[in-house]
Amino acid sequence: MSINSTNRSPAATDEPHGSLLISGAEVITMDALTGSTPVRRDIRIQNGAIAEIGPDLAPLPGETVINGHDRLVAPGLVNAHTHSWEALYKGRYDNLPLELWMLFSYPPTGDVQVSPEMVHLRSQLFAAESLKSGVTTIVDDVLEIPHQDFDQLDAVVRAYEQIGIRANVSGHVVNKPFLETFPFVDSMLEQGLLDRVADLPVPTTEDYLQYSTEAFARYSGRGAGRISYMLSPSAPQRCTDDLLVGAAELARKNQAECHIHVLETKTQAVTGHEFYGTTIVKHLQRIGALTPETTFAHGIWVTDEDIEIIADAEVSVSHNPNSNLKLGSGILPWRKYQKAGVNLGLGTDGCSSSDTPRLSEVMKSAALLHKVSGPDFTQWPSVQEVLHAATLGGARSAMLQDRVGSLEVGKRADLVIYDLDTLAFTPRNRLQNHLVYSENGSSIEYVMVDGKIVVDHGRLTTLDETALRGEVRARGEEIRGWQDDLDSLNSAFMSGFTQMYQQAQARDIGFTRFLG
């Protein structure tokens, strides 16, 4: 495939303010009219936005033209829940449920204040693989241990500015003492271990809201408007009620996402009853912490009444099937959410619990997983629903629905161009089905964000990937060394937390989510 122009060089496509025409391509718009059904269209991009879509658009003088013959154009994918913190933990752990896995991926003890230089490196690594697999927007729930400072957050923002990805970036916060975030553990840990974590510092609600207020001021409009700050109270059981309410209010004031982990595991469902005497969702409703800006990451162990509350409050849910499968967390009630009208996005979660930032793998898992939830095949996920969750659903979750998620006039030109003359699309049948079930990123020719080509035939245009991988390799021994030290230190908690986990699994809460 070639880029043709009468009087401009191909390099001009790197300029977000140039005029570019994609001519005669098959296009999945994800708009209200055609949805995921491909249509033959031309797309004109000007000033980083989609200026025109239609058949037979004539090239303008000096306009760069991409020949769309044998090509599919689709919206860039939106990763609605992930953690770049885990980029350095890819391929490290297996066969651990969440509560035990967290002891190592999010170690409660040990000095793990990661340097801004390392934060910048891991953020580049994560963004590079995301872009090359067709993900143009990430909701990055950035967590630092024991706390996040502005040097670290600046490092993330700078990395994403430079590589050209669109991102919501959080200040993730836990403001309850570690042992107060789990049920049963006090009686299951030795006194020495209790003492080791008893005095770990936590921020106050005032600290976090002041930090977030400053973060909005610092980062609004960064990356030519691609970077947004979001609130991220870790989870209801890990945060005080005043912080949960304050975060929701501050997000609404700034028209920003408020991202929170809710009911990922059965242990957390049991925790809700132990801590609040009701479900966690009902507790959030009771304290006034649910708004249309809120996104629940996971949302597996919800009751039917919880789902009604979520729908009424216009809360979004990010579905993370690969992570949920690896950690044995359970299966989200996909069809019940759909019937209730809840907006669903798709997320990879972090690279320690799913080992990849490639949302294409999550799309296929979401399409397949829920087919085993019941024999009524009329209730199984459709390709349209899955693609919607991976694009518009994630955009709505991220509070970016007016900018990305579909190919429509006025929206930013965040899109992916696939070569149809590949094995993934051979023989060529329903292109939308190929995209969900067959394509794994190997057919991607171009990825654009804000009309700028950031991936060109497998090559990042904004970053030297070879140098990046070389630096990570060069620091591999250092990285594995401190990870090994932390694993050794925190493995002392395994016995007590295993007992806690087993007690929670034995608790009868009246329903199961291992079959959706």
Mean pLDDT of 444-452: 98
Average pLDDT over residues 440-456: 97
Sole residue written with tokens 């955009």: 395
Q: How confident is the model at residue 11 (pLDDT cuts 50, 70, 90)?
A: very low
Enter the CATH code of domain 77-397: 3.20.20.140
Task: Please state which of the four CATH numbers 3.40.50.1240, 3.40.50.2300, 2.30.40.10, 3.90.180.10 is assigned to the domain occupying 3-75+407-460.
Answer: 2.30.40.10
Q: Supply the DSSP symbol for 58.
A: P
For 251-280, what is the mean pLDDT?
98
Domain coordinates of the chain in residue numbers? 3-75+407-460, 77-397
Measured CA to CA, the distance from residue 321 to residue 329 in angstroms comes to 9
Q: What mean pLDDT is predicted for residues 26-36?
A: 97
pLDDT reported for residue 339: 98
Whole-number percent of the chain with pLDDT over 90: 92
Average pLDDT in the 270-291 region?
98
Q: Tell me the pLDDT tens digit for each residue of 316-346.
A: 999 999 999 999 999 999 999 999 999 999 9
Instruction: State the pairing for strand pair 444-449/77-82.
Output: unpaired
Above 90 in pLDDT, residue 516?
no
Contacts of residue 269, Cβ cutoff 8 Å, sequence gap at least 6: 263, 279, 280, 301, 509
DSSP state of 493: G
Residues 6+ apart with CB under 8 A from 107: 145, 486, 487, 489, 490
pLDDT, tens only, 75-130: 999 999 999 999 999 999 999 999 999 999 999 998 788 999 999 999 999 999 99
Q: Quick one: pLDDT at residue 112?
A: 84
Under the banding of pLDDT at 50, 70 and 90, the label for residue 373 is confident
CA 180 – CA 197 distance, rounded (Å): 11
Percent of the chain with pLDDT over 70: 97
Output phi, psi for 350, to 5 deg: -85, 170
User: Could you read off the pLDDT of 220-232 as tens digits, one per residue?
Assistant: 999 999 999 999 9
Average pLDDT score over residue span 41-61: 97
Residues 6+ apart with CB under 8 A from 29: 35, 39, 41, 53, 75, 406, 407, 408
Model confidence pLDDT, tens digit, residues 187-200: 899 999 999 898 88
pLDDT digits (tens, 9 = 90+) for 342-352: 999 999 999 99
Closest listed residue to residue 364, CA positions, set 453, 447, 435? 435
Q: For strand 64-67 and strand 71-75, is the pairing parallel, antiparallel, or unpaired?
A: unpaired
Q: Are 279 and 269 contacting, i.e. CB atoms less than 8 angstroms apart?
A: yes
Q: How far apart are CA 170 and CA 143, in angstroms?
A: 8
The stretch 438-457 carries a mean pLDDT of 97
CA distances from 457 to 11, 446, 454 (A): 14, 6, 10
Confidence class for position 13, pLDDT limits 50, 70, 90:
very low
Q: How confident is the model at residue 17 (pLDDT cuts 50, 70, 90)?
A: low
- The per-residue pLDDT for 4 is 44
Q: C-alpha distances in angstroms, 213 versus 208, 260, 397?
A: 9, 18, 21
pLDDT of 369 > 90? The answer is yes
101-111 pLDDT, tens per residue? 999 999 999 87
Q: What is the mean pLDDT of residues 248-277?
A: 98
- Residue 16: what pLDDT? 47
Under DSSP, is residue 162 helix (H, G, I), strand (E, B) or coil?
A: helix
What is the average pLDDT value for the chain, to the nearest integer?
A: 95
By C-alpha distance, which of 302, 322, 396 is closest to 78? 396
Q: Is the pLDDT of residue 273 over 70?
A: yes
pLDDT for res 506: 97
Confidence class of residue 37 from pLDDT cuts 50, 70 and 90? very high
- Mean pLDDT value of segment 504-516: 90
User: Per-residue pLDDT tens for 148-202?
Assistant: 999 999 999 999 999 999 999 999 999 999 999 999 998 899 999 999 898 888 9
Calpha distance 339→376 (Å, rounded): 15
